[in-house]
Amino acid sequence: MTAEPALSSSPDDDPGTRSGAVVELEHLTKRYGPSSTPPAVNNLSLTIPAGEICVLVGPSGCGKTTTMKMINRLVEPTGGRVLIDGEDVAGLPAVELRRRIGYVIQQVGLFPHLTVADNTAVVPTLLRWPAPRIRARVDELLDLVGLEPAAYRDRYPAELSGGERQRIGVARALAADPPVMLMDEPFGAVDPIRRDRLQNEFLRLQARVRKTIVFVTHDVDEAIKMADQIAILQVGGVLAQYDTPEAILAQPASEFVEHFVGADRGLKRLSLGRVRDLPLLEPVLARSGETAAEVQRRLDAAEVDYALLVDARNRPVGWIEAGQLGDGEVRDGRLPEDLAMPGAPLLMPESTLRDALSAMLGSSVQLGAVVDEHDQVIGLISVDQIAQLMRRAPDDA
């Protein structure tokens, strides 16, 4: 194992983590009972390229979690084998193997009696790293998952929000820099709005660390969003299709797959596109304290109906409609903050177009504010842009 390089401050720099390893499943079979019982996982073979996210998805009873647990041997296979970078996992003591594989579960499972720092340091501690190295690593990891080390290090899990716990869970899994991470419905217990954000952050993180990730979910949309490769399993642990999300949506291999991904495949394909793929529109920004007339002038110049009210740090507050500015008492006065209609949907460059569309359709204004990781506005997208995209690429199924 190489020493950890110093933490780099720029997000573009590789923080120096070891990148992923190839994971191969060969004729993997699991039966819970004698050979006459139907298998939970049946002769499953697939190769996961190094540094990619492979999502195992399927209805309940399809053996996706069982398959994942055979990789870190929480479940021992009845037949077949698992190779990581060509090495059979059965050749290592299970405990040692698990310390080399990151593991994130839906309920997170943070240890309630340990601080955030100690939770994050669990595997390095098991591996008996020297204390200064552990301390440095913990701070590096907290930074990596977007939590200020000084503010979070000494807190206990009971003092964290659900999203913060999930981030610590990811940091803990990354602690010993494992080439492979297993994630079992990691965002399943988080509410939809936070889930979208956690997914986006995780994708951003993965772009830096390039681990090989096996990700289990029952949610097709999450699979399409997160995956480089999707393995669709059907009941009995049979592999129905293993391909990129694009290929699965374009050419479902069977009726089962077609059914499973759903009738709205045209809409689902929107999950393939990201907000960052669209040309961002220039917003008309307004700040509280400005006069209505000034804002009106800018709206007229841009020929748009809505201005985005932002706070001092350019974070969106809400929409202001051109019509509101004409009202008698507002016209000559300063903009009051409560004039804005709240609920401008906040989108991130990583958000899928599908999520963006449903967020915008759910709000009163058919525009979405795109923000960076500090929640500062970088542009707008509109419902029209997405609609045009759909018209240009009609569903070819």
- Residues forming contacts to another protein in the complex (CB under 8 A) are 72, 74, 94-100, 103, 105-115, 122-123, 126, 155-160, 169, 172-173, 182
List the strands of the sheet with 346-347, edge to edge: 346-347, 367-371, 377-382
Distance of closest approach, residue 160 Cβ to another protein, in angstroms? 8
Residue 105 vs 304, nearer CB to another protein: 105
List the strands of the sheet with 238-243, edge to edge: 101-105, 180-184, 212-217, 53-57, 229-234, 238-243
Residue 71 vs 144, nearer CB to another protein: 71
Residue 23 vs 108, nearer CB to another protein: 108
Cα(369)–Cα(361) distance, integer angstroms: 13
Cα(48)–Cα(386) distance, integer angstroms: 32
Residue/partner pairs of 82-88 with CB below 8 Å, 24 or more apart: 82/23, 82/24, 82/25, 82/26, 82/28, 83/22, 83/23, 83/24, 83/26, 84/21, 84/22, 84/23, 84/24, 84/179, 84/180, 85/21, 85/22, 85/50, 85/179, 86/22, 86/24
Residue 109 vs 343, nearer CB to another protein: 109
Cα(249)–Cα(331) distance, integer angstroms: 52
Distance of closest approach, residue 72 Cβ to another protein, in angstroms? 6
Residue 186 vs 316, nearer CB to another protein: 186
Distance of closest approach, residue 73 Cβ to another protein, in angstroms? 10
Cα(350)–Cα(339) distance, integer angstroms: 30
Distance of closest approach, residue 48 Cβ to another protein, in angstroms? 18
Residue 1 vs 158, nearer CB to another protein: 158
Whether the Cβ atoms of residue 352 and residue 272 lie closer than 8 Å to each other:
yes
Distance of closest approach, residue 94 Cβ to another protein, in angstroms? 8
Distance of closest approach, residue 159 Cβ to another protein, in angstroms? 4
